[in-house]
Amino acid sequence: MKRLGSFILGIIEVIIIAYVIFLTGCLLFVNDYGYTQFGDYTLVEVNKGQASLLEGVEQGDLLIIKNDKNIQVGSVIYYYSVINDQYYVKRAPVTEVKDDGFGQIYSLDIKNVGETSTVNDRKVIGNYISIHRHLGKILKALESKMGFLFLVLLPMMCIFIYHVYSFIVLLKFEKNDFADEIEVLEEKK
């Protein structure tokens, strides 16, 4: 029974450590625009402002946008746009692709405005999207300061304290066993 409890505790520790590594990666791989980015994949938590700018998503959704570098006329792309000194993600179809010598410039058809806008390739996130309902709320909570404190630091501290306690108990029993062995040896003399 003790081995089963130890095995289950070990599994829980591995899960917590893997989760902490993933979450720390999310916090470390924030791009210049304030969004988590792993290589060609960008994680976008849809907040209230984002939900009004993007079709087909709701507040609290998680968008995983992949840049597959295959953007042509007619492709719908996701890109960064500045609104009130804050970066938001928007989407629009590409009407024209130009090369200015420094990179690609995309002309976009902005539906609600009725005009054309341009964006350079550095502000383009990608053109493939995966929507995960309500996971954005979880990511937001995990990436918050309080989430990091209670969901990362606290579990790791508990694991650390448990292992220090186990080490002290092990030393105490080893000391007692060593003292018993010395007594047995002295009695034999």
pLDDT at 110: 79
34: exposed, middle or buried (Cβ count in 10 Å: 0-12, 13-18, 19+): exposed
Count of alpha carbons within 13 angstroms of residue 88, beta-carbon side: 15
For the CA atoms of 4, 23, 49, 108, the dihedral, rounded to the nearest 10 degrees, stands at: -120
The answer to whether the beta carbons of residues 154 and 147 sit under 8 Å apart is no
What is the Cα–Cα distance from 156 to 25, expressed in whole angstroms?
A: 16
* pLDDT tens-place string over residues 71-87: 888 888 999 988 888 88
* pLDDT tens-place string over residues 124-137: 998 888 899 989 98
* pLDDT tens-place string over residues 9-48: 889 889 988 888 888 888 899 899 989 999 889 999 998 8
Task: Report pTM.
Answer: 0.72
